[in-house]
Structure 1
Amino acid sequence: MRTPLRARTARRVARGVTVALTALALGSFGLTAAESAQTRPHAAEPTHAVGHDNTALTIDGKPLSIWSGEFHYWRLPSPDAWRDVLQKMKAGGYNATSIYFDWDFHSPKPGVYDFKGIRDVDKLLDIAKEVGIYVIARPGPYINAETDGGGFPGWLVTQKGKARSTAPDYLAAADEWLSQINPILARHQLTNGTGTIIAYQVENEYYQNTGDGHAYIQHLVDKARADGITVPLTGNHNGLFTKELDIEGYDAYPQGFNCSSPDKWQGLPDLSGEKKPGEPLFLAEFQGGAFDPWGGPGYDKCRQLTNGDFEKAAYENNIASGATMQNFYMAYGGTSWGWLASPESVYSSYDYGASIREDRQLTEKYLVNKRLGYMVQSVAPLTKTEQVSVAAPQNSALQRRDRHNPDNGTGITVVRHKDVNNKAKDTTHLALGGYPSVPQEPGTALTIDGRDSKLLLSDYAMDHQQLRYSTSELMTHGTFGPRDVALLYGRHGQDGETVLRYADRPEVQVISGHVQQTWDPASGDLRLNYKHDGLAQVLITPPGSTPLLLLLADDATADTYWRLDTPQGPVLASGPELLRTSAYDNGVLKLSGDTGKAANLHVVTGTPATSVTWNGRPANGALDTAGTPLAGPGPVTLPTLGGWKYHAETPEAQPGFDDAAWRAADKQALSADNYGFHAGSIWYRGHFTAAGTETAVKVDATTGRGGRYLAWLNGTYLGSSDDATHRFDIPAGTLKPGKDNVLAVLSANTAHKQDWSADDSHKEPRGLTGASLVGSAKQIGWRLQGALGGEDLVDPVRGPLNTGGLYGERHGMHLPGYPDDAWPSVSLPDSRKGAPGVSWYRTTFDLNLPKGQDVPLGLTFKDDKAKNYRALVYVNGWMVGLYVNDLGPQTTFPVQPGMLRTHGHNTVAIAVIGEDANVDGLGNVSLEAYGNHTTPLHYRDIASPGWSAAVYRDPQATADVRIDAPDTIARGKSGEVTASYTPRRSTAHDASLTLRLPDGWTAEPEAAQRLGNVPAGSTVTRSWKVTSSGGSGPWSAVLSATGRSRDGSADAATSVASPPAAPGAGTHDLAGLDFLSTNGWGPVERNTSNGEDAAGDGRPMSIAGTAYAKGLGAHADSDITVHLGGKCSRFTASVGVDDETDSAGSVTFTVLADGKQVAATPVLRGHQAAVTLNADVSGAQVLDLVVGNGGDGNAQDHADWANATVSCAS
């Protein structure tokens, strides 16, 4: 999905692919899914030619409309539920689904890929073939999708080359992924006759119209073809790559993503200009919902923003623009379980306000989409239309858009209000079908409700009938054996008028309802007039021709009808909540589906059936007028969650915790991805020898939106923050001068950012990025620990994104079978007061839901929002979501089928991370049912490995390594570095000690020293003269030592300060000084605005019309760090949003001196006058200039530090 140009945070323009299947293909898919992931053989089946002409996709030369919905299998980790959703989509009018294939979901480390179990995409595509739904495959490599890293695996973060470019290391990794996924997709192409893939999207929302950008896309095209992809290659790059691709698509999200104002419409675009010569107009993603961020209004508001009224108006408007391929993003969103959710856009739920809810329940949007999808698949002339000019409606408040098929004259007319926010009910008459004023019946009119839209057909050859026009909308039609059937619908109580033309007067029988008929012998027109009220049935029998059964319904009645096609012809049924399948078997019509309450089944068929079954039971009365009664679901009683067990952990915060086996932070960066930890929480423990003069700790961290970090010093809690830089004051009596002190930081991260703008934003660090002591130059040596095993998964079934590095996660407290018998019992809500940190709550419950019923369940939290805590929610070992009590909005967490054992024993484990000095206990947690339906489907339990004492334990260190170095080594100068090695349990044979230095640093003697055999408990020490590099470079350098023996290795690391010289006496423009920076968009610019994503592309700075020649141009979220060395006393600047945003943007400015806030602004917005900052920075070693995003995302947040200066003494 996409974000408007330069709207950096509100990323994706909602997704939708429209695919209309014809009966040619709908009834011919019959392969049964097998179990093997890679080697499933396929029976020989007819191949098909998939191509396109100027207006439509073609299959075997026949054009068809594509009515598609987006579906993400990786957000629904239950293969049986894949069938449920795909069947619902097929029944709901979709003839295709667009599917991202998520690299991140399948690859925990380079060269390792998993396509088994919940990752078995062979099975997914077999199910799609079995259901009879086409697939638009979208394997990336980049997918965006509001998912972790935009689909890039965590291990890609550390690559040096720029992603989404021709950088060799990136292309090698991308080719590795494509070499895995492309052969699977190739096996399931319609062109082979072995699947239903009809299109393959190359990359995603890629807008780099450069030589390298085109070379990159061509590389992916060549790779796809080399890997056996033969279907058309598509894109959603808004027309940039027509040369490389077969069909270029366009993304459009006209409602945007602010669900806080769900009743405000933004306008409906005319997208006809996006059609490319020789290609159909393909809306690769059109808005089918909206994402919702942390602290947002919730998905019910997003569903209201994109409700059925919007769908009807927008999708019909697209048809009026000539779109024959539409994909709606999303049809079903699902759950971003584990750490799938990209935090700048979404939280755990990816409901998206879609037509099918996260809990798989159907909505009113689904029913509107069904009516439109059925129509698009029925009316073949829609695949080739041209825009025509006609007389405007008689009512000037309304507008019409018209097209006609040049081959057969079929006309389509879309009527709605000119003002999309007009809620008035208006009536009008139209010139339609050659008639100057329609409707013709005196006293009637065409009614358009507020925000309604109507798509009317005229001059249409409807099977064996000639439809002159109808003011009712067509839902579906077809030939059912000896007669034609057409279903027309309209708003309840509104007038309807339908005119059919016959050579001779037909016999008209009104079977039910009130329908007035008028025959005009001169023209041969049969005019029917009626009001839409329930269902009227009219049988029209023309002499010597095919009869027509005309069903005239209001919206609610039309919604009860379902159409599915079989090789023997179409089946039309009404009554049940859902019709899943229809098939003939030796004359028996076998139907399956769901009911949410008792219903009456009526069936219209063309092929005679000896009998009818419903979910395997006789339903012969369905063919009769009376129909067959269907039972609703039986009642379900859910258990109350009780018997909770409680355990407080956080031993890592205590100074005596043994961290020797943790990973030493031996790289020139602290962020977790550098050490193979790519998901969830990360623990850091920093050791330093205190001078006794330290007054505070300054911590730099990037946890992601919705993330937070907590800090302890020597076991004393310092507090928590979500700031990029935060100063924690050291409480009196906490330091241990001259001794080892331990700074412990729990970085409760959210997932990685996406890379929508192809600027490597997915590489934004997670975890600590730096830390320093205020009051001394003492340096800190760090160790860190994330998920147990890191990239070498200990739980490959659940995969790389299920857990992080909490103590309880590393020891399996989230898993079934963990021994919690010794934990104390508690009840919820828990009134206890605990210490800050992590505590666990566990309980179990049994379920035995009625067989043949689908009862979607979830967990609901209820607590006082003033309590500051977050909770990781696990069910049977699966992290179903992250609950942030004081941020929200998510309070209920659906548990997808298979994760939950509906006929067995279940375990709930909740890890609460409390941030307050006196942490309140967990609030109420309950089991909630979202629906109750009879169903033919059975959801099998997915594999959920339990606890194992052999697996879930901390690794043990074989030796201790220590490294000591000067706190500072000036650039180009030398200092003595000492390292020691002490075996723990047994003699270390053939031991060695190796010093590792940054690039450009040297050591004497050689860095690698042999130690021989070292007895257990003995310590061997080596020293080196170390010389730092001269010139520019990092302000601090990491030195590390590794001890090795036959038994294993151990390591340690420390930092040495090597800052640039402090500014000299005088006043200095910051643009002329060395600085370090992080920036939300491109680099920080000197003496210009931020501009775009390249260095040097900014404009002259201007705030509210005032130009500035000097300063720094930044973009939220940003941190500019300047070394002052205690020599400066005053900082000044004029700050504001740069005028290049054209009044957009909202930012905050904060000035920190050694982490202490010395100046700040409120939220400043575009075109607001500059604010002058004048801050005392006396004695500060480090100055930080921080730009925040104003609390509403960082779109257009161009921030100027104009005339930024520091005044310094010698």
Structure 2
Amino acid sequence: MSKPDRSFTVADQFYLNGEPFKIISGAIHYFRVVPEYWQDRLEKLKALGCNTVETYVPWNMHEPREGEYHFSGMYDLRKFIQTAEELGLYVILRPSPYICAEWEFGGLPFWLLRDGEMKLRFSYPPYLEKIDRYYRRLFEEFKDLQISDGGPIILMQVENEYGSYGNDKNYLYSLIELLRKHGATVPLVTSDGPWHDMLDNGSVQDAALPTINCGSGTKEYFARLREFHGEERPLMVMEFWIGWFDAWGDKEHHTRDAESAAAELSDILSEGSVNIYMFHGGTNFGFTSGANYYDKLSPDTTSYDYDALLTEWGDITPKYKAFQQVIARFTELPKVEFSTHIQKKTYGEIPVKQKVSLYSVADQLAKPVKSPYPLTMEALNQSSGYVLYQADLGKQRRVEDFRLIQCADRAQVFINQKHIFTKYDLDMEEKESFDLPDPENELMILVENMGRVNYSVKMNSQYKGIKGGVIVNGAFQSDWKQYVLSLDHVETLDFTQGYLKGTPAFYRFELEIGEKGDTFLDFTGWGKGVAFINGFNLGRFWEVGPQKRLYLPAPLLKHGMNEVVLFETEGKSGETIRFEDSAGY
């Protein structure tokens, strides 16, 4: 049976099937939520009174290696769109190449940087060629799900906040040409901040409708947008920021009061359309969290709670209720039965079963790559995680001048497996002095990629690992071995090897459960690292906070025995971990 003819057009306002339509949308990133909970989150979006869901599409997750495509599990974009359609929701798709989103490299794949001349987000032909090839595969997932074919997709976005990055209009027109070439039939939009030159820089008004991103002052900004694109075009806030994200080291979890946010929502809906960012933030599982860089590196936490209308774990908040009351003044609220049974469980304290030092299993984790100089992660064809660099420093003597040149983001320096110091960001190239105590001395440097910058001018320089070199007594050290530590297969580790206290190490736990429920891993007493459950990378932890527990969704657990592995890098470990039934903010 063919789908009914439907249309969505942009004129003086939005029109759905020829009738005026106010978009009331909320952002859910399918790639930040386990697929088993997509239905739940979308049902709660519909119950709020929203008629549309918006999502970014992360290129780096769908093409993690050049020419290798992933569209299953948490990255099954088609299934997410179809789930929304089954609930009667429309879809706004923001299909990259760049998404920002506090996501690793703003959604760009790391392998773009293997081209030493790469110019991201500009009219650089090799960059556009790779987007062209990616779009050819990407559009296979949703081309027939656009409203022109009876599907739910009503809008697509060109790039993202480009006006805060550049003003290469040829680049924007090239992206539009590629979108149309590969099958985009719906109207196109751009989205930019309403400040400075952003709207002028990022808009191509003859080909895409400008929209704005902001969290307050929308009456003023709508007036500016109206002046910018004329009276006869609809007004929309594509990202209405109702909270904010957290970075490691922030003093506290960011929140915004429900009253001011709801009042702002009322102002928006009285004049135009909205996409609530975020309706549900979700989780930066694994190594997917990005970073910002202004005066210093600011890496994002594993939680992307965002103080959204739904918590990271999907609970309805007072802010949700306040927004629902506002939306009810503009549309009839549907009756929605929530179909997914979700419970939270406390599993208590479990002890360490086994321990093994990184040094003992490095050769098991990776085959060493030898080179006369240290190689970057990108040169090692590595997306994320860590690199362990090793070199022989020779005889006993004093090192008066030790420096790490062009190293990112965090480096722990060891002599003969003893920690000497840690370097981070701005202090990386500061000179250090120390003694080499033994007749033969081994240097090891564990370098962590804490998330490639996802916004602004640093994006073209996001090489990780050691790019420049290592200075020892005024000269570059040569003859290196590098171990790529992507940590993709920690479930195969041999824990019978040696353990040295106070060094980077793996810790294995067994969690036996009779009933599955959402839970939270409390890492109190542990320093810094990453956690795995049944081989799944749950995400980074760090004692500096503000996040104190990692959210563990029930679908990642198994009835019976579950294996938990922590990789801890500071040599700061406890003898137990705990699983609680709350986030502990």
State TM-score, norm by structure 1: 0.44
Question: Is 1:91 paired with 2:47?
Answer: yes
- After TM superposition, the structure 1 = structure 2 runs for residues 866-885 of structure 1, keeping only pairs within 5 Å, are 869-885=527-543
For the residue of structure 1 that corresponds to 2:556, the secondary structure is coil
Counterpart for residue 265 of structure 2: 315
Partner in structure 1 of residue 466 of structure 2: 768
Task: Give the letter for the 1:673 counterpart.
Answer: E
Distance 2:340 2:247 in 1: 35
Q: Would the aligned equivalents of 2:111 and 2:381 in 1 still touch at CA under 8 Å?
A: yes
> CA 1:332–1:208 in 2, change beyond 3 Å: closer, same or farther?
closer
Residues 45-194 of structure 1: pairs in structure 2 closer than 5 A: 45-54=3-12, 56-76=13-33, 78-159=34-115, 160-193=117-150
SS class of match (2:269): helix
- The alpha-carbon deviation at position 298 of structure 1 amounts to 3.6
1:727 is aligned to 431
Compute the displacement of 1:862 (Å): 2.3
Q: Please give the secondary structure, in 2, of the residue aligned with 1:685.
A: strand
Identity %: 24
CA spacing shift, 1:760–1:171, aligned 2, 3 Å: farther
Contact 1:359 1:930 in 2 (8 A): no
Aligned to 2:562: 906
Q: Aligned to 1:838, which of 504, 511, 518?
A: 504
In 2, Cα distance between the equivalents of 1:131 and 1:750? 38
> Partner residue of 1:326?
274
Query: 2:349 aligned with 1:649, yes or no?
Result: no
Find 1:226's aligned residue among 149, 171, 181: 181
Q: Secondary structure at the match of 2:160?
A: coil
Match for 2:523 among 861, 867, 873? 861
- CA shift digits 1:272-312 (9 cap, x unpaired): 2212223200111111211111111343xx23x2x220222
Q: What SS does the aligned partner of 2:224 have? A: helix
Deviation, 1:108, is: 1.9
| Contact 1:691–1:778 (CA under 8 A) maintained in structure 2 | no
- Inter-CA distance 52–743: structure 2 relative to 1 (3 Å threshold): same
Q: 8 Å contact 1:150–1:762 — kept in the other structure?
A: no
How far off its partner does 1:734 sit?
Answer: 3.4
Letter in 2 for 1:167: Y
Tell me the residue number matched to 1:281.
Answer: 235
Alignment of 1:561-640 (within 5 A): 563-564=333-334, 579-580=336-337, 638-640=346-348
Amino acid at match of 1:189: Q
The equivalent position to 2:547 in structure 1, one of 880, 890, 902, is 890
Aligned position for 1:272: 223
| Distance in 1 of aligned mates of 2:415 and 2:465 | 18
**Distance in structure 1 (CA, Å) of the matches to 2:144 and 2:442:** 56
Match of 1:340 among 267, 270, 288: 288
Q: Measure the CA separation in 2 of the matches of 1:783 and 1:168.
A: 35
Distance (whole Å) between structure 2 residues aligned to residue 93 and residue 749 of structure 1: 41
1:85 Cα deviation from its structure 2 partner: 0.7
Structure 2 residues not aligned, in runs of 5+: 194-198, 293-298
Cα separation, 2, equivalents of 1:734 and 1:712: 13
Amino acid corresponding to residue 683 of structure 1 in structure 2: L
**Pick from 656, 663, 674: which aligns with 2:369?**
663
Can you list the C-alpha shifts for 1:95-122, whole angstroms capped at 9, x where unaligned? 1111000001111211111112222111
Q: Is the 8 A contact 1:74 1:118 kept in 2?
A: yes
Q: Tell me the CA shift for residue 158 of structure 1.
A: 2.5
2:196 is aligned to none
Give the residue type in structure 2 aligned to 1:335.
Answer: T
Asked if residue 784 in structure 1 is aligned to residue 482 in structure 2, the reply is: yes
Counterpart CA distance in 2 for 1:60 and 1:325 is: 17
C-alpha displacement of 1:697: 2.4
Is the Cα–Cα contact under 8 Å of residues 752 and 763 in structure 1 kept in the other structure? no
Provide Cα deviations, 1:444-465, integer angstroms capped at 9, x if missing partner.
xxxxxxxxxxxxxxxxxxxxxx
Correspondence 1:236 to 2:191: yes
Supply the distance in 2 between the matched residues of 1:779 and 1:742 (Cα, whole angstroms): 12
- Quick one: structure 1 residues 641 and 231, their matched pair in 2 at CA, closer, same or farther if it must change by over 3 Å? same
The structure-2 alpha-carbon separation of the partners of 1:714 and 1:309, relative to structure 1 and needing over 3 Å to count, comes to same
* Amino acid of the structure 2 residue aligned with 1:641: E
Whether the 8 Å CA contact 1:712–1:718 is kept in 2: the answer is yes
Determine if contact 1:641/1:843 at 8 Å carries over to the other structure.
no
> Counterpart of 1:338 in 2: which secondary structure?
coil
Partner of 1:921: 573
Aligned to 2:453: 753
Bigger fraction of residues in helix: 2
Cα displacement (A) at 1:184? 2.1
Q: Secondary structure at the match of 1:316?
A: helix
- Give a deviation string over 1:696-716, Cα, whole Å, max 9, x none: 422235433xxx321123444
Q: Deviations over 1:316-371 (max 9, x none)?
A: 12234x2x221111001110011111133521110011010001111011111222
Shift, 1:776, TM fit: 5.7
Displacement of 1:900 after TM fit? Answer: 2.2
- Matched residue, 2:412: 710
**Contact conserved, 2:398 with 2:434, CA < 8 A, in 1?**
no
1:337–1:879: 8 Å Cα contact kept in structure 2? yes
Query: 1-side partners of 2:164 and 2:348: how far apart?
Result: 54
Q: How far 1:140 moved relative to its partner? A: 1.2
Do the aligned residues in 1 keep the contact of 2:396 with 2:438 (CA within 8 Å)?
no
Deviation, 1:228, is: 1.5
Q: What per-residue deviation string (whole Å, max 9, x for no partner) do you get for residues 1110-1161 of structure 1?
A: xxxxxxxxxxxxxxxxxxxxxxxxxxxxxxxxxxxxxxxxxxxxxxxxxxxx
Superposition TM-score, scaled by structure 2 size: 0.88
State whether residues 252 and 283 of structure 1, in contact with CA within 8 Å, keep that contact through their aligned partners in structure 2. yes
Taking the TM superposition and a 5 Å limit, the aligned residue runs for 1:940-979 are none
Q: Provide the rounded CA distance (Å) in 1 between the counterparts of 2:460 and 2:31.
A: 20
Alignment pair present for 1:214 and 2:172? no
Distance 2:82 2:553 in 1: 21
Q: 2:205 corresponds to which letter in structure 1?
A: K
Q: Give, in angstroms, the shift of residue 94 of structure 1.
A: 1.4
**Aligned mates of 1:168, 1:876 — CA distance in 2:** 42
CA-CA distance at 1:733 after TM superposition: 2.6
Q: Which residue of 2 aligns with 1:350?
A: 304
- The Cα shift of 1:779 comes to 3.6
Please give the root-mean-square deviation of Cα atoms over the aligned residues, in Å: 3.0
Distance 1:218 1:680 in 2: 36
Q: Is the 8 A contact 1:93 1:369 kept in 2?
A: no
For residues 419-458 of structure 1, what are the structure 2 equivalents within 5 Å?
none
Whether the 8 Å contact between 1:201 and 1:234 is mirrored in structure 2 is yes
Counterpart secondary structure, 1:651: helix
Is 2:399–2:433's contact at 8 Å kept on the other side of the alignment?
no
Distance 2:25 2:503 in 1: 46
**Which is strand-richer, 1 or 2?**
1
CA distance in structure 1 between the aligned counterparts of 2:350 and 2:361, rounded to whole angstroms: 30
Contact 1:93 1:372 in 2 (8 A): no
Residue 920 of structure 1 deviates from its aligned partner by 4.3
Q: 1:244, CA displacement in angstroms?
A: 4.1
Higher mean displacement: 349-358 or 681-690: 681-690
Is 1:848 aligned with 2:500?
Answer: no
Q: Displacement of 1:823 after TM fit? A: 8.3
